[in-house]
Amino acid sequence: MPELIQQGLWDDSPEGKVLIGSCCRECGAKAFPCRSVCSRCCSEQQTQTPMARRGKVLSYTRICIDVPAVDEAPYLVGYVLLDDGISVPARLKYFDVNPDVGSAVVFEVGVTGKTAAGEAITGYYFRPERGGEEACQER
Amino acid sequence: MSGEIAIIGTGMTKFGKHPDLSLEALGFEAAGQAMRDAGVRPADIQAAYCASALAPQLLGEFTMGQKIFWELGINKIPVVNVENACTSGSTGFYLACLAIKAGAVDMALVLGVEKMYTRVKKILDAGATDLETKLGFIVPGTFAMRARSYISKYGLTPEDLALISVKNRRHGFLNPNAQFREQVTVEDVLSSPMIADPLTRLSCCPQGDGAAAVVLCRADLARSLNTRTVNVATSVLMSGSYDSPPHLDSWPTDMRAVEKAYGEAGIGPEDLHVIELHDAFTIAELIHYEGLGLCPAGGGGELLKGGHTSLGGRIPVNPSGGLLSRGHPVGATGVAQLVEIVTQLRGEAGPRQVPNARVGMAHCMGGDLQGDTRSVTINILTV
Ligand SMILES: [Zn+2]
């Protein structure tokens, strides 16, 4: 079993894997990763809720130096604005050309890093909404 | 706070690579200089603050303040070691101001010190357990994403961004304490190795070794000491909001901190004569122009390209060379910015002097988290 980047970040849904965020029962504020106390109203009444699988690239960068915890170089990281209005940090994979700010992307779970011993770490990433799907399945 | 506190002495080492100087030696040199400049004795210092962001990580050191201050003959007083990312040094200064304002002490010493060229090679990140770090985010990457957002929103180019490095290198060329004293061109900046697109190596501040220190005291005592006194109009420290806003083109805490600072000092951005701000990466300086109210949203490019923030311009920014040129030994930076503003207000900045500078600001920012900065400090000084 590959190691997980962090417990509790995503779950299964009828559409496939989705990020899990928290939603405040008092004021409706959403957060990712889940919080136990609302940062807006301080309520402890938090439910866990599946986040949108689709979103748009808010911004991104290509990291061009070797980073020991990452399995590839160069690689893309970005912030994705999910369709439900929350921005999340993410890896971006399977982009043949650099995305544009605003490009449509879809959530996936997969290898995003390696341990100090070189073993794969399972994390999450977003791929292009069109074009990336086949490439992704081939792998 | 206006008129209650004064800075009476400054000291700093040259920033850069100091393979032969330990962290203690760097701190000893800067703190000793500041005390000699103030003309005070060890027994006059009633509280002392030592800021270092990375010593525990890189050197395995802790409670450096006690070790360094003891060497200077300062003992049997409250000593506080401060870590607050890039604002570590300016947070130490904030705490010293609070202690004096509260009447707990009459005089304090603040030292910022860092040694980054060590055998431990580490890429700066947001902290080992942060989700961003685990996903492969590194500090230059976070700023690169802000750069892409900002330049695409406001129609700027990588060439425009590079002008920040060109300007600050031109300023650093005039500062004998700067780490980089070679000037660069836009072409040099753009053709240096890519770190995190669109930020190249020359768009990022260097690592460094160095220390800076100030002595501050009750303003009424400062007058009797008859030194080249600079007044502290306000000292503000503020944390962020972390609600992941759907944009990346400002740090909301800049605005909140500066509003408080202008209110307390009873001035506005138009009253400033000189500014040191946190240009860890080229894009940061542009975003801070707006955050500090120097221009409207999206106006940073015009302010820069018009030469208004260069030496000789309307409101010179980073006359020391900033982090990009003076260097960024993390824990020392916040104090080094204060040292530069004091030097400017004393009229002792030599070829990089801003003529008739009487009101100056030192702005520092620490880290990026969930769409906001973790920490902002604003210090406004006057003569
Ligand atoms: Zn709430």
Q: Is B204 a catalytic residue?
A: no
pLDDT of residue A121: 92
Q: Which residue of A has its CA nearest to B130?
A: A6
| Number of folded domains that form chain B | 2
Q: Tell me whether A33 touches chain B (CB under 8 Å).
A: yes
Ligand 1 centroid, distance to B242 Cα (angstroms): 14
Q: Is the peptide bond before A89 cis (omega within 30 degrees of 0)?
A: no
- Lowest mean per-residue pLDDT among B84-98, B124-138, B366-380: B124-138
Residue A77, min C-alpha distance to chain B (Å):
7
Half-sphere exposure of B302 (CA within 13 A, CB side): 8
Ligand 1 centroid, distance to A89 Cα (angstroms): 22
Ligand 1 centroid, distance to B359 Cα (angstroms): 42
Residue among B86, B97, B204, B295 flagged as catalytic: B86
- Each domain of chain A, given as residue ranges in start order, spans 3-137
Report the CATH number that the domain containing residue B42 is assigned in CATH. 3.40.47.10
Pair B322, B359 in one domain: yes
pLDDT of residue B76: 96
Pair B296, B262 in one domain: yes
Pair B367, B276 in one domain: yes
Ligand 1 centroid, distance to A19 Cα (angstroms): 20
Assess if residue B247 is contained within a domain.
yes
Residue A134, pLDDT > 60, answer no
- Distance, in Å, from the CA atom of A72 to the CA atom of A66, rounded to the nearest integer, reads 8
Name the residue facing B248 among A79, A86, A121 (closest C-beta).
Answer: A79
Nearest-CA neighbor of A55 among A104, A91, A92?
Answer: A104
Q: Which residue is associated with the tokens 């500062």? A: B175
Residue B2, pLDDT > 60, answer no
Assess if residue B202 is contained within a domain.
no
The answer to whether A101 contacts B137, with C-beta atoms less than 8 Å apart, is no
Nearest-CA neighbor of A78 among B249, B137, B374?
Answer: B137
Mean pLDDT within B109-122: 87
The answer to whether B131 contacts A78, with C-beta atoms less than 8 Å apart, is no
- Distance, in Å, from the CA atom of B84 to the CA atom of B375, rounded to the nearest integer, reads 7
Assess if residue B182 is contained within a domain.
yes
- Tokens, residue A74: 């160069």
Pair B239, B93 in one domain: no
Residue A1, min C-alpha distance to chain B (Å):
18
What is the residue-averaged pLDDT of chain B?
A: 93
Q: Long-range contacts: B290-293, Cβ < 8 Å, 24+?
A: B290/B250, B290/B254, B291/B250, B291/B251, B291/B254, B291/B255, B291/B258, B292/B254, B292/B258, B292/B361, B292/B363, B293/B255, B293/B258, B293/B262, B293/B268, B293/B269
What secondary structure, in 3-state letters, does chain A show?
CCEECCCCCEEEECCEEEEEEEEECCCCCEECCCCCCCCCCCCCCEEEEECCCEEEEEEEEEECCCCCCCCCCCEEEEEEEECCCCEEEEEECCCCCCCCCCCEEEEEEEEEEECCCCCEEEEEEEEECCCHHHHHHHC
The answer to whether B136 contacts A101, with C-beta atoms less than 8 Å apart, is no
Radius of gyration of chain A (CA): 16
Pair B240, B111 in one domain: no
pLDDT of residue A138: 41
The answer to whether A77 contacts B244, with C-beta atoms less than 8 Å apart, is no
pLDDT of residue A131: 60
pLDDT of residue B244: 67
User: Percentage of chain B with pLDDT > 90?
Assistant: 84
Pair B256, B316 in one domain: yes
Name the residue facing A77 among B136, B146, B243 (closest C-beta).
Answer: B136
- The dihedral sign for the CA sequence B346, B277, B134, B246: positive
Pair B190, B218 in one domain: no
Pair B19, B49 in one domain: yes
Residue B380, pLDDT > 60, answer yes
What is the CA angle B48-B50-B54, rounded to 5? 170
pLDDT tens digits along B45-89: 999 999 999 888 888 888 999 999 999 999 999 999 999 999 999
Assess if residue B134 is contained within a domain.
no
Pair B338, B273 in one domain: yes
Assess if residue B81 is contained within a domain.
yes
Pair B214, B299 in one domain: no
Residues 6+ apart with CB under 8 A from B26: B13, B18, B113, B115, B209, B210, B211
* Residues B28 and B67: beta-carbon distance below 8 Å: no
Assess if residue B126 is contained within a domain.
no
8-state DSSP, B57: I
Residue B212, pLDDT > 90, answer yes
pLDDT tens digits along B199-211: 999 999 999 999 9
Q: Tell me whether A88 touches chain B (CB under 8 Å).
A: yes
Residue B314, pLDDT > 70, answer yes
Pair B217, B350 in one domain: no
pLDDT tens digits along B161-179: 999 999 999 999 999 999 9
Q: Which residue of B has its CA nearest to A5?
A: B134
Q: In chain A, what's the furthest Cα-to-Cα distance?
A: 46
User: Which residues span the domain enclosing B111?
Assistant: 5-119+208-229
pLDDT of residue B123: 63
Pair B38, B143 in one domain: no
ipTM of the complex: 0.89
